[in-house]
Structure 1
Amino acid sequence: MRHLILMLPIALVACATTGSSGGNVAIETTANGQSLPGVQCVVNNYNGSWNVTTPATINVGSANGDLRIVCDKEGYRTSEMVFRPSGPLGSSVGLGVGGGGGNVGVGVGLSVPIALGSGGYPSRVTVNLNPQ
């Protein structure tokens, strides 16, 4: 029992992971399959709102609500994209110890949910604009 209690923190640290995107999103714009730089875009989620000129990379923080990108350039139709954050993968680990003497057994169980990644937005977004 004493060894199990000592191993529990090590087991939990070994299984836990975090997302690595850091909230950065690269935004590019295209038209007819060609790069279209210099497009004004408004990017927002529950963390805030940002005005950018493409191509741009911005930090939108942790995934918090829908990520909305609205891009506009003279001579082109306004284009809007919405991304829902991907959910974290969940799991649970069962840890237990058993013991007893003769035909009698004693068991203790513990279920610990562990998130495998934090979920988030895509790291690269390409917004296509159509001529008017």
Structure 2
Amino acid sequence: MAGCASLTESTEQNVLVQTVLDHREIAGVGCVLYNDAGKWFVTTPARLTLRKSSGPLRIDCAKNGKGWAYEKVDARADGNLWGNLALTAGVGYIVDKNTGAGYDYPAVLTVVMHPAQEKEEGPPPAAGVTLF
């Protein structure tokens, strides 16, 4: 029988963060993960414990000369959350939604990197030329 997730589940979750560029794992990428419950810094690949939330997890990664990534991962309600809605007439649901206990992110977060664009150096534009 499902119960209040705030009582039966942790508000923290262990996840693995890995980064991929051109279909290959790339190590040494600095990433910031954040949601409305906190902010975490890692260098991939890495395992970390983050605080769960009902809101999305945002992931911002970069490695000089290699690439960048910005992703959003939505939290998914687990079975305890829905059981709680039925058993407590919604009161437990509200508690679980606010603590994040009834939600999970994927256990493995694979971030797809975009290749870095090399900056082309050239002569400055002529006076009076508008660049878009």
Deviates more, 1:32-41 or 1:57-66: 57-66
Instruction: Say if 2:18 and 2:111, in contact at 8 Å, map to a contact too.
Output: yes
Distance 1:29 1:82, change over 3 A: same
Correspondence for 2:13: 23
> Which one has a larger percent helix, Structure 1 or Structure 2?
2
Alignment of 1:9-20 (within 5 A): 14-16=1-3, 18-19=8-9
Correspondence for 1:75: 65
Aligned identity (percent) is 29
Correspondence for 2:102: 118
Shift of 1:61: 1.3
* Amino acid paired to 1:127: V
Instruction: Say if 1:41 and 1:72, in contact at 8 Å, map to a contact too.
Output: yes
* Amino acid paired to 2:49: N
Distance 1:112 1:45, change over 3 A: closer
* Amino acid paired to 1:30: V
- Pick the aligned partner of 1:127 from 111, 120, 128: 111
Distance in 2 between residues matched to 1:15 and 1:40, nearest whole Å: 39
Correspondence for 1:35: 25
Distance in 2 between residues matched to 1:121 and 1:127, nearest whole Å: 14
Distance in 1 between residues matched to 2:12 and 2:38, nearest whole Å: 16
What TM-score comes out, normalization by structure 2 length?
A: 0.62
- The two structures, once aligned, show a CA RMSD in angstroms of 2.7
Consecutive aligned runs of 4 or more in structure 1 exceeding 3 Å deviation: 17-22, 111-115
Correspondence for 2:51: 61
Instruction: Say if 1:47 and 1:64, in contact at 8 Å, map to a contact too.
Output: no
Shift of 1:123: 1.0
Correspondence for 1:3: none
Shift of 1:124: 0.7
Distance 1:129 1:15, change over 3 A: closer
Unaligned runs of 5+ residues in structure 2 are 94-100, 117-132
Classify the secondary structure of the residue corresponding to 1:23: strand
Instruction: Say if 1:45 and 1:60, in contact at 8 Å, map to a contact too.
Output: no
Distance 1:28 1:86, change over 3 A: same
Shift of 1:64: 4.4
